[in-house]
């Protein structure tokens, strides 16, 4: 892990003060001043550089810390680019338009948000990727929501909730595998144990989305009918247009590396686009992988719905992720994160205090670094010996890493998942986060489990006393 060595050792209260200043500044700039997150992140980096120089850290070392942090995002950047190409190819190949058409056939408006939540959850479990789920079926549901003039924020919240339920509970998910392997717990024992908090969070989410769903949609279906007719007229609705998604699902199930999986789905979609496009336009198809798909239609709502994707559409997200992770590199190297973690470790003799401290650590690292993998790894390695010392089974910790680590990332506006989802779904993170019920409920339930000791197991696997 690249963030292992720090350049400074600072007192916990000093670390806490720096964190409060940084988060207050970033939050004020984004919420009150309505700045794009890049600007407050850059200002935070400058503040950390000044802090480092006051502490007499060499500028060369500070620059190295920035680069170390950014390196952790290179894998995510590559995935972002491939998903950008995948989205544009799925548009051209008719995959997402066909999903939209089928979604209109399925959805009546009644129970809409609940249906969105359940469908995205099922697909998320099947393919094990929250971001891919949101970029495919999620984008389709956002189109349906817009046509029915329903709340984009609630729809996005339902998509994010369902997608991260799938990401959390799927044995194909990289975060699920990482959480279990970090504290050396069997993968399927980890998934089984997560049901204690995940099932209640799922049921609660389903009930709330059902209550939020409209009881009628009235004349909105005139727009839905218009969209369906236009999609058919554009020659974008075919059964074989679903083949790229099937390719995606099969390769994901077989645990083929993400780049190969996404690339294969993109190539298959581009192949189908040759069938749907006249030979005279074949020469322009490769360009959409960079600039995105542009719908050739006079129906404005359809043009807005389909014109998206491409590497270019990911540049905003990529630049923000690299800046946020660079800031994270400085936070660790300057001893701020280790200092903050040591604050969490005070008074963790009680089971409830230990679980609360570990949960706050996982949540805090998500907000400070914006990266769920580092939240899982750093919290896992830091608290594993304390859980074992307290005679707690490590599966308690692996569940916590998902409840307070994995599902928190999409709620952070400057995080890897937050910026990606805001771009793909077209809804600011600060708006959909209020309705990402599953993601909000999960950490609360894991903390409550610690307080009540319900589902908390000792090292022998029995209920903790």
3-class SS string, 180-221? HHHCCCCHHHHHHHHHHHHHHHHHHHHHHHHHHCCCCCCCHH
- Shared-domain flag, residues 135 and 250: yes
> What's the pLDDT score for residue 348?
65
Instruction: Compute the distance between CA of residue 300 and CA of residue 318 in angstroms, rounded to an integer.
Output: 29
Q: Are residues 399 and 371 in the same domain?
A: yes
What average pLDDT does range 30-47 have in this prediction?
83
Mean pLDDT of 238-248: 89
pLDDT of residue 216: 62
- The reply to whether 56 and 94 lie within a common domain is no
pLDDT of 105 over the 90 cut = no
Between 408 and 321, the higher pLDDT residue: 408
Per-residue pLDDT of 246-305, as tens digits, reads: 898 888 778 787 788 888 989 999 999 999 888 888 888 899 999 888 888 887 767 876
Q: pLDDT tens-digit profile of 275-289?
A: 988 888 888 889 999
User: Same domain for 270 and 121?
Assistant: yes
**End residue of a domain, out of 311, 340, 370:** 311
DSSP tag of 461: S
Classified as helix, coil or strand, 317 is helix
Distance (Å, whole) CA 245 – CA 89: 11
Domains in the chain, number: 2
140 in a domain, yes or no? Answer: yes
Q: How far apart are CA 465 and CA 457, in angstroms?
A: 9
- Cβ atoms within 10 Å of 211's Cβ, excluding its own: 9
What CA–CA distance (Å, rounded) separates 195 from 202? 10
| Nearest alpha carbon to residue 383 among 403, 368, 362, 404 | 362
Across 31-45, 75-89, 108-122, 155-169, the highest mean pLDDT is recorded for: 155-169
- 385 and 241 together in one domain: no
pLDDT digit string, tens, across residues 184-198: 888 778 888 999 999
88 and 44, same structural domain?
no
When mean pLDDT is compared across 101-110, 229-238, 347-356, 403-412, the lowest value belongs to 101-110
Query: What pLDDT sits at residue 141?
Result: 85
**Where residue 53 falls among pLDDT bands split at 50, 70, 90?**
very high
99 and 23 assigned to the same domain: no
Q: Are residues 298 and 183 part of one domain?
A: yes
Between 146 and 267, the more confident residue is 267
Structure tokens at 136: 């495919």
Domain span at residue 256 reads: 78-311
Same domain, 100 and 229: yes
Together in a domain, 48 and 92 = no
What is the residue whose two structure tokens read 């409209």?
214
Domain C-terminal end among 311, 337, 364: 311
Token pair belonging to 429: 């993170």
Count of beta carbons in the 10 Å neighbourhood of residue 459: 14
Q: With 80 as the cut, is the pLDDT of residue 174 above it?
A: no
Pair 113, 257 in one domain: yes
Q: Do 156 and 68 fall within a single domain?
A: no
Q: How far is C-alpha 422 from the geometric centre of its chain's CA atoms?
A: 10
pLDDT at 370: 77
Q: Which two tokens stand for residue 263?
A: 């690339």
* C-alpha angle 150-302-165 in degrees, rounded to nearest 5: 50
């Amino acid at each position: 892990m690249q963030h292992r060595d720090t350049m400074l050792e600072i007192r916990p209260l000093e670390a806490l003060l720096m964190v409060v200043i940084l988060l207050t500044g970033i939050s004020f700039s984004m919420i009150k001043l309505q700045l794009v997150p890049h600007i407050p992140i850059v200002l935070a980096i400058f503040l950390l550089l000044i802090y480092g120089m006051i502490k007499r850290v060499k500028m060369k070392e500070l620059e190295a810390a920035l680069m170390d942090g950014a390196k952790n995002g290179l894998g995510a950047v590559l995935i972002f680019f491939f998903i950008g190409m995948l989205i544009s190819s799925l548009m051209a190949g008719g995959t997402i338009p066909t999903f939209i058409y089928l979604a209109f056939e399925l959805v009546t408006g009644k129970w809409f948000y609940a249906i969105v939540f359940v469908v995205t959850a099922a697909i998320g479990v099947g393919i094990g990727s929250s971001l891919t789920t949101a970029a495919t079926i999620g984008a389709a549901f956002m189109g349906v929501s817009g046509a029915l003039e329903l709340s984009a924020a609630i729809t996005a919240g339902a998509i994010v909730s369902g997608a991260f339920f799938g990401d959390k509970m799927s044995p194909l998910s990289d975060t699920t595998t990482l959480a279990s392997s970090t504290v050396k717990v069997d993968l399927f024992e980890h998934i089984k144990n997560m049901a204690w908090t995940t099932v209640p969070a799922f049921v609660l989410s389903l009930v709330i989305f059902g209550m939020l769903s409209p009881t009628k949609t009235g004349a909105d279906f005139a727009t839905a009918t218009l969209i369906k007719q236009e999609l058919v007229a554009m020659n974008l609705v075919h059964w074989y247009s679903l083949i790229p998604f099937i390719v995606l699902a099969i390769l994901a199930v077989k645990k083929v590396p993400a780049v190969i999986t996404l690339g294969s789905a993109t190539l298959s979609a581009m192949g189908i686009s040759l069938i749907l496009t006249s030979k005279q336009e074949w020469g322009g198809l490769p360009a959409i992988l960079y600039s995105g798909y542009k719908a050739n239609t006079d129906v404005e709502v359809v043009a807005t719905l389909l014109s998206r994707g491409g590497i270019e559409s990911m540049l905003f997200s990529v630049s923000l992720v690299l800046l946020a992770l660079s800031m994270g590199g400085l936070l660790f190297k300057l001893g701020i994160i280790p200092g903050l973690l040591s604050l969490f470790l005070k008074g963790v003799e009680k089971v409830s205090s230990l679980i609360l401290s570990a949960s706050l650590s996982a949540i805090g690292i998500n907000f400070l670094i914006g990266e769920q993998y580092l939240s899982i790894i750093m919290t896992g390695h830091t608290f594993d010996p304390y859980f074992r010392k307290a005679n707690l089974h490590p599966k308690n910790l692996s569940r916590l890493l998902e409840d307070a680590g994995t599902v928190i990332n999409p709620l952070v506006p400057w995080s890897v998942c937050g910026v990606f989802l805001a771009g793909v779904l077209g809804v600011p993170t600060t708006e959909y986060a209020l309705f990402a019920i599953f993601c909000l409920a999960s950490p609360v339930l894991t903390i409550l489990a610690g307080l009540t000791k319900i589902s908390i197991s000792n090292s022998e696997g029995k209920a903790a006393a």
